Structure 1
Amino acid sequence: MKLIKSVAGALMIAGATFIASVQAQQNSPLKRTDLVQNEISTPGLQAVQARVDFAPGAVSIKHSHPGEEVAYVLKGSIEYQLDGREPVTLKTGEALFIPAGVAHVAKNVGDGEASELATYVVKKDETLVIPEK
């Protein structure tokens, strides 16, 4: 019975966290829509794919990931600033590889909305977005 109550409590907390996250994203200049999350054949890793929509002028926080990312611009122009590198601006149809653990910022530098398809190969059961200073 204690186990059932513990699991139910954890599910309620997870649900409340998810709802708060969705509400925050709806009011945010950035909106991430998770598309796929699945274990892969390499033990301890998973593939995650998400669409990230940027309002005009929107800028991500400086962050990293516990694995690699491939960012593919679906619409607009997005500037990527990776630590230790010059900024690069990608337009619709262009892609960028971001190595594991490299802090970066993404900014919509176009006139309208921008979108990217982010594909990650990351460590399973770790936070996908790690805020950096």
Structure 2
Amino acid sequence: MGLLAVAGTTFAEDAKPQAKSWQSGLHRTDLIQRDLGVSDREVVQVRVDFEPGVVSPKHSHPGVEIAYVISGTFEYQLEGQPNVILKAGDSLYIPEGTVHVATNIGSTTGSELATYIVKKNAPLVIISK
């Protein structure tokens, strides 16, 4: 592989742009968190914005998630199920404890509205290894 020097910076000629990390390319806006009237459950709703190409970490939730795509195109990988592609206006039900990954496969920022019915006092997101 050849190298190219430009203004003091070295680039590999055939290098591809690095995918943006989920830590810097995924933005969460908390919208609501309320008790459900059931002793151990609450509802949490968040808006999640993914920059192009961003992949969420492999994770699960201590309850169900309903994902509604506001804009963009996402590929969801749910453990034990075939991958599914959703576009604006589509929804997906993710059962409690199901390990999953969401990827913005579009060329612009994509957004989803995530509604969780989860156990109270538990972490909302459980990162898998």
TM-score range relative to shorter protein: 0.7 to 0.9
| 3-state secondary structure, aligned to 1:100 | coil
CA distance in 2, matches of 1:130, 1:109: 23
1:95 aligned to which of 91, 100, 112:
91
What is the letter of the counterpart of residue 100 of structure 2? H
- Structure 1 runs (4+) deviating above 2 angstroms are none
Superposed, which structure 2 residues align to 1:65-80 within 5 Å? 65-80=61-76
TM-score (norm 1): 0.79
| 3-state secondary structure, aligned to 2:56 | coil
| 3-state secondary structure, aligned to 1:28 | helix
CA distance in 2, matches of 1:41, 1:95: 25
Q: CA RMSD in A?
A: 1.1
Partner of 1:35: 31
Residue 109 of structure 1 deviates from its aligned partner by: 0.5
CA distance in 1, matches of 2:60, 2:100: 6
Deviations 1:43-85 (A, max 9, x none): 1100000000000000000000000000000000011000001
Gaps of at least 5 residues in structure 1 are 1-24
Residue 42 of structure 1 deviates from its aligned partner by: 1.3
- Structure with higher Rg: it is 2
Q: Does 1:81 align with 2:81?
A: no
Partner of 1:22: none
Q: Does 1:104 align with 2:112?
A: no
Partner of 1:49: 45
TM-score (norm 2): 0.82
Higher strand share: 2
Higher helix share: 1
| 3-state secondary structure, aligned to 2:38 | coil
